[in-house]
Amino acid sequence: MRAVYALALKLEAVLAGVFLLLMVAMIFLGGVARMLGQPLNWTIDLATWSFAWGAFLCADIAWRRNALMSIDLMAARVPQRVGRALFYANHLIISAFLVYVIYAGTWLSWVSRARSFQGIPTVSYSWVTASIVVGGVLLLITTILKLVQALRQDGLLEASPRSSG
């Protein structure tokens, strides 16, 4: 299972990079085409799609690596036990918010299924809004893994038994 998860993390990083590079390429191509008097309206739509997917995948990567901005002003000034309680409360609030994001993103993807891109009329806008759902699920998995790891470190959860190979 760990090997599958490790492969998924690598795939996520590659896709995030591809989406962000594709976004930049589409914006550049659209700008050059417009400057030459031949606008390509579909480039903006593809850039929007790439940005949405890239942003959510990058958010999960940053969250997993603890690379997001954080302010631990309060946690640093209270006893360690209270700081840990704040950590758990914060992660539970984040989890609840992500459950809501997944729910709202699913609803948004459903209601936007009939909407299409202006420059690509045959493609549903749900391909953009689905990034909310997938990103929310990935972020929730990362948050749960962080909580489980913290519970194990604090001795509140037993480590899972390892199978001898």
Give the Cα separation of 129 and 115 in Å (integer): 11
Range of the domain at 89: 2-153
Q: Does some domain include residue 49?
A: yes
Q: Residue 165 has what pLDDT?
A: 47
- Three-state secondary structure call for residue 155: coil
Give the Cα separation of 61 and 65 in Å (integer): 6
Query: Backbone dihedral region of 84: left (phi > 0), alpha (psi from -120 to 50 degrees) or beta?
Result: alpha
Q: Residue 72 has what pLDDT?
A: 82
Phi, psi at 124, each rounded to 5°: -75, 145
Q: Quick check: 138 and 63 in contact, CB under 8 A?
A: no
Mention every residue, 6+ apart, whose C-beta is less than 8 A from residue 130. 105, 109
Mean pLDDT of the chain: 93
- Residue with more model confidence, 69 or 132: 132
Place of tokens 């993390």: 9
Q: Does some domain include residue 14?
A: yes
Q: Does some domain include residue 146?
A: yes
Q: How many CA atoms lie within 13 A of 33 on its CB side?
A: 13
Q: Quote the pTM value.
A: 0.90
In the beta sheet, which residues pair with residue 141? none
- Please count the structural domains in the chain: 1
Q: Residue 54 has what pLDDT?
A: 98
Q: Does some domain include residue 160?
A: no
User: In this structure, which long-range contacts are made by residues 69-72, counting pairs with CB atoms below 8 Å and at least 24 apart in sequence?
Assistant: none
Q: How many CA atoms lie within 13 A of 76 on its CB side?
A: 4
- Report the length, in residues, of the chain: 165
Q: Does some domain include residue 158?
A: no
Q: Does some domain include residue 116?
A: yes
Q: What digits encode the pLDDT tens for the residues 89-142? A: 999 999 999 999 999 999 999 999 999 988 888 899 999 999 999 999 999 999
Q: What digits encode the pLDDT tens for the residues 22-46? A: 999 999 999 999 999 999 989 999 9
Q: Does some domain include residue 97?
A: yes
Give mean pLDDT, residues 6-10: 96
Place of tokens 């997938």: 134
Q: Does some domain include residue 161?
A: no
Q: Residue 162 has what pLDDT?
A: 61
